Amino acid sequence: MIKSINKRVEKNILYLEIETTLKAFYSHKNVLLTEEQVFEIAKTEHEIESLISSPPHNVGNYFSTGTKNVGTWAFKLKPKPRAPRKKTKPAAQKKTLTKSSLRSKINKIAKDLNSE
């Protein structure tokens, strides 16, 4: 009866678009999809919290007033538990060694000699 199921997840919301095959002969039974059936389909791969929206028309294997063969349902997904982040200590800053240049060393020695 179900021809295709398209699943799409956006911002913690699962969208299910279900298309049914049309019955080939008039003698075949008319079958409608219920919200319970769609909820079971959605629950197979995802943890569902609640139903947000359903199509305004019935979805079944025949065309009639108020019945179509395609419908889209939206479900709110349960939030996934997040692992707590490990706090890392900031890296210690390297101490920069200040090496004085040869010229500054000579100037210092010259000043010391001149001051004596």
Give CA separation, 82 vs 45, 85, 86, in Å. 19, 9, 12
Q: What percent of the chain has pLDDT over 70?
A: 94
Residues 27-70 have pLDDT tens digits of: 999 999 998 999 999 999 899 999 999 999 999 999 888 999 99
114 pLDDT exceeds 90?
Answer: no
Dihedral angle of Cα 56, 62, 63, 65, to the nearest 10 degrees? -60
